[in-house]
Chains A and B, each alone.
Chain A
Amino acid sequence: MNSEFISPIGKIKQINGKCISLVGSDIDTDRIIPARFLKCVSFDSLGKSVFKDDRQTLKGRHPFDLEENQNASILIVNSNFGCGSSREHAPQALLRWGIKAIIGESFAEIFYSNCIAIGIPCFTLSRKSIQDIQKYNYHKELFLEIDLKKSLAISKDFNFHLDIKESSKKMFLSGNWDATSTLLKNENLIERKNNDLPYLKFSTDL
């Protein structure tokens, strides 16, 4: 776990780091951050509680506890990662542990949009490629240099192309991934919509 946390900001073009593989499909957000840790009014202290119950069950053998994975920042996962609850606490906990990017076969939708909203690019790859990377990473340390513009990951032994939603890619490259300011630019249009929607006039007491 990285001790000093700095929230991502601005343009994200390049992510370099050590990979950490987490094998398993349908890993839900309750497992990423169990509900009892949601009793907080800030995200600051979530990093240490990431995968808390899974880690306790595995008594030190969980990937997030292994010595060789400390300071890793690129998470390699299988399919439907982050399914279940909409809790942003899940990607916030990963971010605060030190994760800067995730590569997986597929992601649950709300988890994906939460990641993008807080500056964690999520890339997809075929099942086979993910399994190959995880196998390689099981035996050897894997450092990746991810070039977001080229959607390319470069390592000592092999290079591969990554898929990322075009809209997410553009946001990170331009640095406009803080949605609030982008949305506020259309203030006039928002006002107009607020005046035009038929149902907003139906309920007088709202």
Chain B
Amino acid sequence: MSQDTLFDKVWDLHKVSSLPGGSDQIFIGLHLIHEVTSPQAFGALKDKNLKVKFPNRTVATVDHIVPTDNQSRPFKDNLAEKMIEALEKNCLEHNIRFFNIGSGNQGIVHVVAPELGLTQPGMTIACGDSHTSTHGAFGSIAFGIGTSQVRDVLATQTIAMNKLKVRQIWCENKLSNGVYAKDLVLHIINKLGVKAGVGFAYEFAGPAIEALSMEERMTICNMSIEGGARCGYINPDEKTFSYIKNRLCSPKNEYWERALLWWKSLKSDINSIYDDVIKLDASKVEPTVTWGITPGQSVGINQQMPLLADLSPNDQFIAEEAYEYMDFKPGQSIKGTPVDVCFIGSCTNGRISDLRVAAKVLKNKKVSNKVKAFVVPGSEKVASEAKQEGLDKIFRESGFQWREPGCSMCLAMNSDKLEGNQVSASSSNRNFKGRQGSPSGRTLLMSPAMVAAAAINGKVSDVREFISK
């Protein structure tokens, strides 16, 4: 059993009681809600005649269903309009702070909460969305919950949960030029597998992690769930504190000093005990692209897709299914695979630094005429920063469509969808069958820089060839 890790400390601090049956009752410091997984929870409160216990500990935004072309109300999609109306009504009725479209602070919930300074070290954070693990980048313990648990948090500010084990993933050395956080996390999931994290919190540590910016750290923690881990985190440091400083909801004046003092005391002890430790060399990681139907099925850009014989029996099964669905062959190169759609955005890679990196690749270049390319900023704030820097202009001039903020084609709940068996180069997080809106659509996950390179060439390319030119 782990001891004295950040996870242990934060868990113990938030433990309200031991429940009969062996799980713990855990206090949730920050609860984030959005339109998709909350309406039924509010409905359940009504059925049980319960109130929201601490309305000021819940913050809402709208992201999954929002259109990215025309956000004027009512939405063209009647069902989407009903969902945003339900959220507006519930927030008003229960006195919950809501960052709506046009507020200047709307966006993907996991982009918005950090940029508002809501996400802070040492907190427990829950949201009805599996990518809540993102917030672990700040040294908080953050995890996705289902709608019944959203109801529990609304009603009690606590949930029942079994304590997780802790696996440290120690990343030695540094990422090389043209290799990004997305490549590293895809590499980690490939090495450990998509279910290795079940029952674990992942602590990402080591020189390669410390060298990452806060936004890159969010990309890493965001995809913990793709490795099966409900929660991923990184010990906070000076980068963490300076990111939080002077944001809308960050502590101010004497509170800032007190917060800083406490945050600095929060990290895994040097002698802490982990349930498991994995070490890997980040300098060996190449730009990485998925070829299959799970985020674990990836290869380095210069490698071939695996032969079935090289895989374990259990992996062979899903690999065969993947090859059939993707219409690829074992041993085939990923490089050169033609793409139809290029998507930059999502809670994994829709932040300002992601847009900057992609724009740098696209500057003075044109998107292939065979490709439909679009960029969806992660939030209104990301969009306005990008415009100030002229990034929107670079994207537009290259042939990318510039859209309004939202989750968009990461999960295709709005009208941004693949058609037929189109192949997309996507900076999102899931390449599941049908994930991007077409039951036969095919998704290749990669970093935003790699999406930009694929857009220019009309095929999967090594972005390092653009950077060195």
Contact = CB atoms under 8 A, between A and B. Distances in A.
B435 interface: yes
A184 to B, nearest CB: 6
Given A24-B321, A39-B80, A171-B21, A84 B430 contact: yes
B228 A109 contact: yes
Interface of A: 24-26, 28, 30-31, 34-36, 38-43, 53-54, 56-57, 79-80, 83-89, 91, 106-110, 113-114, 117-118, 127, 165-171, 174, 176, 179-180, 182-184, 186-187, 189-190, 193-194, 197-206
Q: Which 6 A-B pairs have the closest CB atoms?
A: A117-B148, A114-B146, A88-B146, A167-B21, A53-B439, A86-B144
Contacts, number: 223
A88 B149 CA distance: 10
A34 B434 contact: yes
Interface in B133-161: 143-149, 151-152, 155-161
Contacts of A34: 434, 439
Contact of A30 (B17, B29, B80, B433): B433
A80 to B, nearest CB: 4
A184 B155 CA distance: 8
Contacts of A171: 21
A190 B162 contact: no
B79 A40 contact: yes
B16 A84 contact: no
B338 to A, nearest CB: 23
A30 B152 contact: no
B50 interface: yes
Given A24-B318, A35-B435, A183-B160, 15 more contacts: A30-B435, A31-B434, A39-B413, A41-B39, A88-B37, A88-B128, A107-B198, A110-B143, A113-B146, A114-B146, A174-B20, A180-B44, A184-B156, A199-B29, A203-B117
B250 A193 contact: no
B80 A108 contact: no
A contact face: mostly helix, strand, loop, or mixed: helix
Contacts of B56: 206
Interface string B33-71: 000110110011000101001101100000011000000
A179 B317 contact: no
A183 B225 CA distance: 26
Contacts of A43: 40
B340 to A, nearest CB: 19
Contacts of A186: 16-17, 25, 158
Interface stretch (B209-217, B251-259, B362-370): B251-259
B29 A113 contact: no
B401 interface: no
Contacts of B293: 26
Contact of A180 (B13, B156, B294): B156
Contacts of B122: 198-199
Nearest to A173: B21
B102 interface: no
22 contacts: A24-B317, A34-B439, A35-B435, A41-B40, A41-B43, A85-B411, A86-B37, A88-B40, A88-B146, A110-B144, A110-B146, A113-B149, A114-B147, A169-B21, A179-B152, A180-B50, A199-B29, A199-B120, A201-B255, A202-B255, A203-B117, A204-B255
B260 to A, nearest CB: 10
Interface in B249-286: 249-252, 255-256, 258-259, 262
A190 B432 contact: no
Contacts of B430: 28, 30, 84-85
Contacts of B27: 190, 193-194, 197
A28 B14 CA distance: 31
A200 B321 contact: no
A42 B36 CA distance: 10
A41 B155 contact: no
Nearest to B90: A41
B387 interface: no
B412 A35 contact: yes
Nearest to A198: B262
